[in-house]
Amino acid sequence: MNDMQGKSKLLVAGIGLVLFAGCKSGMTGTYSDANGAVILELRSGGDANFTFMGDVENCSYKTGDRQMTLTCKGSPAPVTVFNIHDDGSLTGPPGTFMPPLRKQK
């Protein structure tokens, strides 16, 4: 009986790790606006590329509290805070040119 309990605990722990890893990497992927003029590539480890009308910048990002902070050192506005919505889309600060970005499949 102890062997069965040990296997059950191991299975539950394994499932928990898989679910945690899936949630942690949930933001990774490519986001773009409807026209494809703005593209945001989020990679694991906090690295990102931000492309606006063909110009690519190397950036980093952090997530927390339903927001994603994008930091691009060479940009005129080096830090941009995006809101993360329930549908997974990202919107930039109000009053900016930033269109809504949706995750591409």
Q: What is the CATH number of the domain that holds 58?
A: 2.40.128.280
Asked if residue 42 belongs to a domain, the reply is: yes
Length of the chain: 105
pTM confidence score = 0.72
- Torsion angle of alpha carbons 17, 19, 20, 26, nearest 10°? 140
Asked if residue 14 belongs to a domain, the reply is: no
Which pLDDT band holds residue 9 (cuts at 50, 70, 90)? very low
Asked if residue 12 belongs to a domain, the reply is: no
Asked if residue 50 belongs to a domain, the reply is: yes
Instruction: Please state the domain count of the chain.
Output: 1
Asked if residue 64 belongs to a domain, the reply is: yes
Over residues 45-90, the pLDDT tens digits come to: 999 999 998 999 999 999 999 999 999 987 777 899 999 999 999 9
Task: Tell me how far apart the alpha carbons of residues 60 and 48 are, in angstroms, rounded to a whole number.
Answer: 5
Asked if residue 6 belongs to a domain, the reply is: no
Which pLDDT band holds residue 26 (cuts at 50, 70, 90)? confident
Asked if residue 2 belongs to a domain, the reply is: no
The domain of 60 spans 29-103
Asked if residue 16 belongs to a domain, the reply is: no
